[in-house]
Amino acid sequence: MSRFAEDVYRLVRCVPVGRVISYGALARALGHPGKAREVGWALFRCPSDVPAHRVVNREGRLSGGWAFGAPEVQRLRLEAEGVRFSAPEQLDLERYGWQPVESVPFSGR
DNA sequence: CCATTGACGAAGA
DNA sequence: TTCTTCGCCAATG
């Protein structure tokens, strides 16, 4: 297993319940801007203890779908954690987006 | 080795 | 603002 994939898993495991992070932000945080697609590839074959449902695309939309067994699973898991969708497949990244150390959006609210 | 594909993203039109 | 195209890069056929 590649070092990159291990780093992805390690970081995704740090995402708090009820928060999400994008593929690109994940890649950048790991020092590999441009490897957003590889993040997706790594998550496709990730261990079950990795909260992969908390990873969405840069628009705050769900891309996984079938990787979770069914298209709706990811959304249901997020809603179960308190994430509310502004539209069927659209959530608010400004509100739920999370990043390792730097600017944690909306410390309040 | 070459072409295609994909849980993406940014730049153009 | 929405739709296309292009760049990325590992994996597959």
pLDDT tens by residue, chain A, 109 residues: 899 999 999 999 999 999 999 999 999 999 999 999 999 999 999 999 999 999 999 999 999 878 888 888 999 999 999 999 998 889 999 999 999 976 555 555 4
Could you tell me the CA-to-CA distances from A8 to A42, A44, A81 in Å, in that order? Answer: 7, 12, 21
Strand B at less than 7 A from CB of A52: yes
- Scanning every strand, the nucleotide with its C1' closest to A36's CA turns out to be B8
CATH top-level class for A3-96?
mainly alpha
- Cβ of A58 near strand C (under 7 Å)? The reply is no
Backbone angles phi, psi at A85, to 5 degrees: -95, 130
Which chain C positions come under 7 Å from a protein C-beta? Answer: 7-11
Listed by start position, the domains of chain A span: 3-96
Contact A24/A53 with Cβ under 8 angstroms? no
- Let me know the angle formed at the C-alpha of A93 by A87 and A95, rounded to the nearest 5 degrees: 100
